């Protein structure tokens, strides 16, 4: 902790020297909303759904300091509000920044790039591995970030945080910090290749585990011992003027003092084709998740899924998507859904 004091002191001094320059009015409020309708062939039922409303605020506080806040309001049984991000950014030098707050854990492309921005999503829903909680969505902590360095536009993120079992609490539930290390290169415009590793010591009780999506890890009910989680990811993204290709893979290892460790894997591949002189982008995505049967932490539910759809980009703030979604779940069986979505950015 003593080692961190000079950093906080420097931050304090730097903000002091640049305050009062009339930049506080440089604040923007933007947001995303979406509306879904779908037909479930298994239940032979059509439904409408109000999506979440995402509000994000960006503010230039001073020459060196900026702020980004993001809150989501949604209906999930009851209306809920959540703070998704609070990030205070301090520019150290050039393209190197220190970030403090609640972040999207920079473990993969989708989480870092789209998250709640449905109008930016290439498909209606997130890939299946989000549902399975295979990686940490958020981290409360501090990070150092560099981007667009050198000819290859190299970027890095190194983050320490409270970890999954602390949830959003200000006080960590154990002495060990979660650690995220991610690197990427952007060798040409529209292309990004990334790798990341995440380590966390998840300690009992698991009542604070960050819940995100419909699936809650089975550990909540069954595990009475600490889990060491190690997650590796790799991603390739290319969004060119015609072709769009996005693929990400995750390898997750959970271990404890009582077992040798279990490895679960997942990946998805998205391909879209932007037809020349057209606002339509037909696309497809394949999802695959394979859990290790010996994994006591995750809810074991292997999934194979595919979507076919088309996206109509009315303008940069409005996207309408039509999709057929097929998924075969190990525990709940087959799911067949026709879905449409109107997503707005404002």
Partner 1 sequence: MKNSIRWIFPFMVLFLMTGAMPREEAIVADEQLRVITNGGDKVMTFKSLKKIMRGEKQRWSDGKKVTIALLKTNTGVGELTAKKVYGMSPGQLNKYWLGLVFQGRAEAPHFFISEELLILYVNSTPGAIGIISTDPDSSDNLATVDGKKVF
Nearer to partner 1 (CB atom), residue 292 or residue 313: 313
**Residue whose C-alpha is closest to residue 193's, from 157, 154, 159, 158:** 154
Alpha-carbon distance of 257 to 262, in angstroms, equals 12
Q: Which stretch binds partner 1 (CB under 8 A): 62-70, 123-131, 206-214, 254-262?
A: 62-70
Alpha-carbon distance of 166 to 83, in angstroms, equals 15
Least distance CB 201 / partner 1 (angstroms): 27
- 54 neighbors 31 (Cβ within 8 angstroms): yes
Residues 14-53: x where in contact with partner 1 by CB under 8 A, - otherwise, as a string: --------------x-x----------x------------
Question: Which one of 53, 66, 108, 296 is in contact with partner 1 (CB under 8 A)?
Answer: 66
Question: Cα–Cα–Cα angle for 161, 165, 169, nearest 5°?
Answer: 65
Q: Is 279 in the site for partner 1 (CB under 8 A)?
A: yes
Q: Is 324 in the site for partner 1 (CB under 8 A)?
A: yes
Query: In the 3-class helix/strand/coil scheme, how is 49-84 assigned residue by residue?
Result: EEEEEEEEEEEECCCCEEEEEEEEEEEECEEEEEEE
Q: Which stretch binds partner 1 (CB under 8 A): 44-52, 203-211, 260-268, 311-319?
A: 311-319
Alpha-carbon distance of 143 to 188, in angstroms, equals 26
Least distance CB 47 / partner 1 (angstroms): 17
**Positions in 215-274 near partner 1 (CB under 8 A):** none
Centroid of chain to Cα 196: 13
Largest CA distance in the chain: 64
Alpha-carbon distance of 246 to 272, in angstroms, equals 9
Q: Which stretch binds partner 1 (CB under 8 A): 58-66, 171-179, 223-231, 293-301?
A: 58-66
Tokens, residue 54: 């995402």
Residues that bind partner 1 (CB under 8 A): 28, 30, 41, 56, 58, 60, 63-64, 66, 68, 85, 87, 89, 91, 93-95, 97, 99, 112-113, 115, 117, 119-120, 147-148, 153, 189, 275, 277-280, 282, 284, 308-310, 312-313, 315-317, 322-324, 326, 334, 336, 338, 345
């Amino acid at each position: 902790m003593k080692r961190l004091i000079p950093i906080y002191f420097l931050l304090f001094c730097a903000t002091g020297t640049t305050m009062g320059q009339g930049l506080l009015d440089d604040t923007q409020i933007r947001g995303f909303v979406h509306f879904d309708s779908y037909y479930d062939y298994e239940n032979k039922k059509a439904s409408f759904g109000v999506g979440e409303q995402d509000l994000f605020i960006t503010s230039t506080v001073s020459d060196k300091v900026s702020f980004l806040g993001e809150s989501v309001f949604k209906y999930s049984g009851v209306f809920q509000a959540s703070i998704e991000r609070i990030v205070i950014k301090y520019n150290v030098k050039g393209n190197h920044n220190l970030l403090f707050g609640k972040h999207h854990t920079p473990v993969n492309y989708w989480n870092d790039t789209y998250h709640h921005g449905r109008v930016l999503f290439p498909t209606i829903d997130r890939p299946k591995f989000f549902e399975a909680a295979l990686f940490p969505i958020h981290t409360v902590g501090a990070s150092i970030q560099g981007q667009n360095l050198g000819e290859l536009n190299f970027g890095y993120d190194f983050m320490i945080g409270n970890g999954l079992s602390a949830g959003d609490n200000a006080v960590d539930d154990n002495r060990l910090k979660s650690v995220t290390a991610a690197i990427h290169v952007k060798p040409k415009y529209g292309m990004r290749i990334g790798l990341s590793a995440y380590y966390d010591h998840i300690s009992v009780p698991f009542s604070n585990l960050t819940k995100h999506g419909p699936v809650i890890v089975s550990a909540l009910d069954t595990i009475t011992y600490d889990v060491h989680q190690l997650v590796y990811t790799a991603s390739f993204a290319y969004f060119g003027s015609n072709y769009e290709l996005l693929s990400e893979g995750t390898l997750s290892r959970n271990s404890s003092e009582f077992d040798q460790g279990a490895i679960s894997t997942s990946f998805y591949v998205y391909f879209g084709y932007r037809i020349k002189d057209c606002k339509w982008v037909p696309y497809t995505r394949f999802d695959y998740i394979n859990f290790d049967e010996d994994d006591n932490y995750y809810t074991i539910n292997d999934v194979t899924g595919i979507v076919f759809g088309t996206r109509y980009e009315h303008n940069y703030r409005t996207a309408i998507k039509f999709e057929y979604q097929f998924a075969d779940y190990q525990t709940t069986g087959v799911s067949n859904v026709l879905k449409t979505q109107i997503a707005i950015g404002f």
